[in-house]
Chain A
């Protein structure tokens, strides 16, 4: 099932070399179909914007909560790619732009609240899990410019690292001890 889903996703991009490379690589490294994280596009709050919602399985939600309480930091990245659709077979579609937004979260045992930080240095406090989880799994608004006459589509992906090690254990991140969960790429076409 994973293969069908994945081939469906990548074939829409008509990027044959990448598809073949990914297919061969995946056949080596991902023998099982695991789907603990998926994404969905939220209805646009403003025109020409996209917001991504990350959906974790209940088991992963519990693991995330447990990891935060154990003192790990968690990180979620929302990646949005904007493509121009082209009718070629071999060269694929053109990647116009890629945007990424990352939240880092942790549990503060002194204030007994969840903290969420953005790369810009903003910090948000959440005394309750539900508030925190809602914010953590919602991406900010990504602006998608529309160009007249150009057939465009976006693909999005969320990558969650539920357990980031502190120094000096960061060496474990480098050899894959830090788990990383990625969703499949989700496509959305934009009207020209």
Chain B
């Protein structure tokens, strides 16, 4: 999946998640009754929806983790950094959310457990019992009006005057708050007491005779009313006596009852409550955790993309491709880094060109000097021989013939030497362009070794070379590498010795190389010459031209390889050559 696609998918997912939460909250009240049949499963539907989103997010996270493993297995650039980043993000998310969740849930549970302690239940039951007892006593007290003879006499003799009746009743029931007399048709005849407790006529008529259920006014006052129809006369009056309970009685009784009920419910559903708290918390917290992990994938991609680009660019530049440039769309710090890198590569390319030009001039100057020197060396004996011949011919003709042969031999010998020198120089300067084709390394080495197999006192050992080592190379030039190295090794062992050749597989980045080792037990190279061995015309041998190793280095460079050596005087020299293997693509 491309990064942009992933980002769009992620944002779409986030939006869908939030939208569906809103939809579920808005429409569940209407949707669920429509679905309901028998026992409804409102909660289960919500749970299933939440679970669906959880699984969806979980799937996305698992998918990204699998992609990460795949990238790591295929050693994709920047994947290790990405793994570290994602791991770090997940760790931070987990470290912040999991303990928080555990603490929140345990805190809630412990708080509930502390609040709903058994002693609280006892206190509540005691409080409720007191309230019930008080209420029962009050009820009994009011009901006693019907049995109290004096009270009945007062009520049944309205001719004594209602005001007096009120005073008499107050003396009997000091807690009486209001006294109201209605006609049988509900017309108010008399009222005394707290006016807030007055009753309308219809309400008085509809109230049951005796004690009515208690009522609570908006101010919190609880009222108990006692209704009695006096006498049997058609115009008999109705008397309503109102009593009040303490102002907070009903509210406190309700609080005690509710708390006690909650206590009972908690006892019956403690396990479900604890599980529900955990589930509800998880349904909110776990998706957030998963979302944060998805964000970490997105962010890590965003972070490593420029780094991977820079790494790729660095590799390409290191391989010599100075045309590579980093493209950056954003205008952040990494954009400036990319700009700086591109500028650096441009400058580097300029410097390299200048350096190459300078090196070429320098190299040709050195070669010219060396060549002049090498040519001058044989010229001296030629000149001396010619002068000697001329002098003898002019001054001592008798002995001329005696020195003629030796002088001419010297001239011929030096001329041949000059011819050889010029031929090798020609070879070096006109090394043909390699013709690359797949060639097995094993075959080339075998052909190169074959010519030296029977050299006296020299034993050549070639370790088994895998058939899979196929080079994309010019076979003749590679063979020349081994020919030159074997010649050097044999010349370094005048008393005889061992030469060993082996090849191993090595990897540099994404490229596979074969590392070839050519080791001898010769005299070795002294430290003072180690930096000069690849220089053209450098030689320590009397008959050497000093171009053998220069040609080897040149061929290896043309094949994008590398050569170096280790040497210890008196023990031998080992040359290492890295040549890229055919990729097979």
Contacts and interface: CB of A to CB of B under 8 A. Distances in A.
Contacts of A4: none
A89 B128 CA distance: 61
Nearest to A169: B265
A156 to B, nearest CB: 12
A118 B261 CA distance: 21
Nearest to B224: A111
A56 interface: no
A26 B38 CA distance: 10
A109 to B, nearest CB: 6
Contacts of A179: 39
Contact of A70 (B34, B43, B264): B264
B269 A180 contact: no
> Interface range on chain B: under 10, 10 to 19, 20 to 34, or 35 or more?
35 or more
A26 B135 contact: no
A177 interface: yes
Given A111-B135, A171-B280, A175-B280, A29 B269 contact: no
Interface of B, helix, strand, loop or mixed by DSSP: helix
Interface string A107-123: 01111010000000000
A87 interface: no
Interface in A40-92: 70-72, 79
A176 B47 contact: yes
Given A25-B35, A71-B257, A108-B257, A180 B42 contact: yes
A189 B525 CA distance: 114
B248 to A, nearest CB: 13
Contact of A169 (B39, B128, B131, B266): B266
Interface string B274-294: 001101100000000000000
Given A110-B253, A157-B33, A172-B273, A166 B38 contact: no
A118 B443 CA distance: 101
Given A72-B261, A171-B280, A175-B280, A109 B132 contact: yes
B96 interface: no
B128 A109 contact: yes
B41 interface: yes
Contacts of B33: 79, 157, 159, 182
Given A109-B132, A110-B253, A111-B213, A30 B38 contact: yes
Contacts of B458: none
Given A71-B260, A109-B128, A169-B265, A26 B37 contact: yes
B44 interface: yes
B392 to A, nearest CB: 124
B38 A33 contact: yes
Interface string A92-131: 0000000000000000111101000000000001010000
A181 interface: yes
A59 B40 CA distance: 18
B43 A177 contact: yes
A110 B136 CA distance: 8
A2 B128 contact: no
Interface centre among A125, A178, A180, A181 (most CB of B within 10 A): A180
B214 interface: yes
A111 B257 CA distance: 12
Given A108-B257, A110-B131, A182-B38, A29 B262 contact: no
Interface centre among B37, B135, B273 (most CB of A within 10 A): B37
Nearest to A79: B33
B128 A22 contact: no
Interface string A134-146: 0000000000000
B206 interface: no
A109 B256 CA distance: 10
A34 B37 CA distance: 8
Contacts of A151: none
Nearest to A176: B43
B509 to A, nearest CB: 55
Given A34-B39, A109-B257, A71 B265 contact: yes
B37 A110 contact: no
Interface string B125-143: 0001001100100000000
Interface of B: 33-47, 112, 128, 131-132, 135, 213-214, 253, 257-258, 260-262, 264-266, 268-269, 272-273, 276-277, 279-280
Given A30-B41, A171-B277, A180-B39, 8 more contacts: A2-B37, A26-B37, A109-B257, A157-B36, A165-B269, A172-B272, A181-B39, A182-B40
9 closest residue pairs by CB, A with B: A176-B43, A71-B261, A125-B213, A34-B38, A182-B36, A180-B40, A166-B262, A175-B43, A110-B253
